[in-house]
Homo-oligomer: A and B are copies of this chain.
């Protein structure tokens, strides 16, 4: 994991953070972002689980315990002021997310294919529109042992703690 120290000198604050996972260091709020946030917007579904105005990004930049997964931030990167972010993740066959835990809760809704979720010590199969609440500090991992892509919305608090990666004990299935 790469540690970064950022000094937000223009705000008179000093913030230290680590790049990781499902987590981003808080952004400096610019006036333009605030203005943008006031504008209602439609992110049209272009088909194939892509949306206009939403880019497909790398799942994480500075960690390794994941494979064949991408993220799309639908709500959260356009200067919105709501207390949550909405993301769409997609895992290709044999891919998986990090095995991790954190204090913030996850809400996951499967919208493409099917997949597995590990919560605590148990694996569950999740299918179309199954909705999962992952409680604080629950070790969890999403994976795709099937032949088709597995896609899901994941909603999280906008302000959230940094995930802690957990060492695998053959968790992924």
Q: Is A44 an interface residue (CB 8 A)?
A: yes
**How far, in whole Å, are A107 and B156 apart by their CA atoms in the complex?**
13
**A82 close to B109 (CB less than 8 A):** no
Q: Count identical subunits in the complex.
A: 2
Residues of A1-60 whose CB lies within 8 A of B: 37-45, 49, 51
| Interface bracket on A | 35 or more
**How far, in whole Å, are A80 and B105 apart by their CA atoms in the complex?**
8
CB-contact partner of A75 in B45, B133, B157, under 8 A: B133
The 5 A-B pairs at the shortest CB distance, nearest first, are namely A45-B129, A84-B84, A83-B83, A82-B105, A43-B131
Pull 14 A–B residue pairs with CB atoms less than 8 Å apart, ordered by A.
A40-B133, A40-B134, A40-B140, A41-B133, A42-B117, A42-B130, A49-B129, A75-B107, A75-B131, A81-B105, A81-B136, A82-B107, A83-B157, A84-B107
